[in-house]
Amino acid sequence: MNPFRDYLLPPGTLPDARTVLGARALRAFGDGFVSLLLPYYLTLLGYSAFEVGLLVTATLLGSGLMTLGIGFIAHRHSIRHLLLLASLLMIATGLAVPALTAFWPLLIVATVGTLNPSASDVTLFSPLEQTLLTRAATAQSRTALFARYSLIGALIAALGAQAAGLPDLAAAHSSTSLLSAIHAMFVLYALLGAAGFMLYLRLSPALESAQHEQPVPLGKSRRIVYTLAALFSVDAFAGGFAVQSLLALWLYQRYDLSVAAAGTIFFWTGLLTAFSHLAAAHVAKRFGLINTMVFTHLPANVFLILVPFMPTLELALLFLFLRSALSSMDVPARTSYVMAVVSPGERPAAASVTAVPRSLASALSPTLAGALLTVSGFGWPLVICGALKIVYDLTLLKMFRAVKPPEETGD
């Protein structure tokens, strides 16, 4: 018996969930350093904050459109095969970025590739993996499993953020140029995609066998899913003003930080986020999924609004850390809630439909944030992000506090 392996999966969870968690960890490591290196790399190529914002918008817009496509075809294809195709796209993305320097080719790669400028998973992998994890879990273990999924993603992404400093280190202590070292990190991103491909090959066909209700288009759950999708899109639009790549860009500009220093900062914010995911399952069990989503999110957004008003880097980081300790506790609760309030067959469609508006809405705001950062060094994008998220929190509480998942009603 391996105590760590036993703890990794909640009781009653199928072993295949461990494979999905492993693939999530590999992708999170790549996302962690890419989200910081991408704006740094683009500024080295001579692009302005506005152009960086456009490329970040393209990555989120492309993810949203591809996730929408997945929602339309998931009920006709093997989820395992779709994950394998997504891994091949991740490999191609990692190899294409260092080969290109012109804006328009990079914009195309950003749109059709798997680059993730966010600390969270906004790619087409996410709804597919969520569906498999729901099949692998019982109703009682579902939130705890999603908490581990989010924990692993945030924890490994924090390590990835720390690894973003490796190109500076290599350039300083070897004959390797800074651009060559950054190119090598994108190749590493492609290799992580290849490792994920190998993991997905190990998934058991049992997760897609006849014992599971097969995917169908949205039916009786359409109204609640569309309403949640609209609300989540407000949250995502707000979050686009402060995605990790743009937050890093603001720190570079405001405090003249190196990418290595920013990597260390996001390593610690990532750790705080990771362990907040773990606490989310226990809080949700005690107070309910909706209450967990709202009452942890509200103070986090107040902290974010205060960040740009701080007179020193130390105080700004204090409020960033406080925000990170609370801001993502809603992630496993949100995922679990969506999976709980729809029928099993509708889950792939529900995961895609709620993810797509988030990606599309979050794709609109980075360009606006980039424009704001171009004309002002003050962190207006952070203020706007926090204010809009507060509106989302209060609206979600009013509309869904009484709509409880089966495990909270005893059904």
Question: What is the per-residue pLDDT for 226?
Answer: 86
Q: Give me the domains of the chain, ranges plus CATH numbers.
A: 14-409 (1.20.1250.20)
Amino acid identity for residue 329 in this structure: M
* 39 in Cβ contact with 249 (< 8 Å): yes
User: Rounded to an integer, what is the distance from CA 42 to the centroid of its chain?
Assistant: 21
Question: What is the per-residue pLDDT for 336?
Answer: 82
Question: What is the per-residue pLDDT for 72?
Answer: 63
Question: What is the per-residue pLDDT for 104?
Answer: 92
Tell me which residue of 326, 332, 338, 154 sits closest to 228, measured CA to CA.
338
Q: Quote the CA–CA distance of 191 and 407 in Å, as a whole number.
A: 41
Question: What is the per-residue pLDDT for 6?
Answer: 46
User: Rounded to an integer, what is the distance from CA 110 to the centroid of its chain?
Assistant: 16
Q: Quote the CA–CA distance of 173 and 234 in Å, as a whole number.
A: 46
At which residue do the structure tokens 């009653």 appear? Answer: 12
Question: What is the per-residue pLDDT for 185?
Answer: 95
Amino acid identity for residue 240 in this structure: G
Q: What is the mean pLDDT of each run of 10 residues along the chain (411 residues)?
A: 53 84 93 88 88 85 75 70 92 94 91 79 79 80 81 86 88 88 95 95 72 58 85 89 84 84 86 80 83 90 94 92 87 82 75 72 82 85 93 92 74 57
Report the 3 state secondary structure along the chain: CCHHHHHHCCCCCCCHHHHHHHHHHHHHHHHHHHHHHHHHHHHHCCCCHHHHHHHHHHHHHHHHHHHHHHHHHHHHCCHHHHHHHHHHHHHHHHHHHHHCCCHHHHHHHHHHCCCCCCCCCCCCHHHHHHHHHHHHCCCCCHHHHHHHHHHHHHHHHHHHHHHCCHHHHHHHHCCCCHHHHHHHHHHHHHHHHHHHHHHHCCCCHHHHCCCCCCCCCCCCCHHHHHHHHHHHHHHHHHHHHHCHHHHHHHHHHHHCCCHHHHHHHHHHHHHHHHHHHHHHHHHHHHHCHHHHHHHHHHHHHHHHHHHHHCCCHHHHHHHHHHHHHHCCCHHHHHHHHHHHCCCHHHHHHHHHHHHHHHHHHHHHHHHHHHHHHHHCCCCHHHHHHHHHHHHHHHHHHHHHCCCCCHHHHCC
Question: What is the per-residue pLDDT for 113?
Answer: 87
* 284 in Cβ contact with 336 (< 8 Å): yes
What does the chain come to in residues? 411
Q: Who's near 408: CB < 8 A, 6+ residues apart?
A: 288, 289
Two tokens, residue 107: 């914009």
Q: Who's near 338: CB < 8 A, 6+ residues apart?
A: 225, 228, 350, 351, 354
